[in-house]
Amino acid sequence: MTAKPDSPTPLMPNSSERTHSDSTDSGIAKQIRNFLIALVAIALSIAIFLGVQTETGSASLSAIAEAAMPLEVAQTNNKPTLMEFYANWCTSCQAMAKDMSELEEAYSDRVNFVMLNVDNDKWLPELLKYRVDGIPHFVYLTPTGEAIANAIGEQPRQIMAANLDALAAQSPLPFTFNSGQVSKVDAALASKVTASDDPRSHGSQVQP
């Protein structure tokens, strides 16, 4: 009786090949994990940076407003005035905060710097009087309180400085109206005062 040949034995990878394959898979998994960790870290860094920038802008505006001249003092000290309507949430106001702080430092001996927060109902009559529907809104006032120029939205520092030079010298302002990027003011502010409360507010309702 003829013996049957032995069945072929399946080839199995040796231990060194298995180790190399496992090492390759582990390396790829580690690279993917590191890549995902890096993406998360970048996203968190951007979020933190933007949050800090916003908080810094708001803090700067609050500090400038705290150092500004009270309106009632500015109305009686016989100096010209730059009045700014602003809000802490206003990105355009935040963008100008550094320039405004430096301009105030340079001109405060000759010009009053007054800041009125549009979120404070106390200033609603002024909002209506000067027809504020976007911020920052700047009003240039003579020593007697006469409004002689307006600037609405973000303004180049050079334009602000040129106007302040003329205002301090009581000369005609080179830029009597300027408009730039603004943040809109909530229309709900205007609804709290009717036209009959102040005849000057007729037709000056704050728009959304």
Catalytic residue among 64, 65, 87, 93: 93
Q: Is 93 a catalytic residue?
A: yes
Q: Which two tokens stand for residue 3?
A: 């013996």
Beta bridge partners, 117, equal 86
Catalytic residue among 90, 97, 103, 206: 90
Alpha-carbon span 43 to 37, nearest angstrom: 10
8 A C-beta contact, residue 138 and residue 83:
yes
Residue 137 dihedral angles phi and psi, to the nearest 5°: -125, 120
Residue 9 dihedral angles phi and psi, to the nearest 5°: -85, 130
Closest of 168, 109, 117, 187 to residue 126, by C-alpha: 117
Q: Specify the 3-state DSSP secondary structure of 179.
A: strand
Residues designated as active site: 90, 93
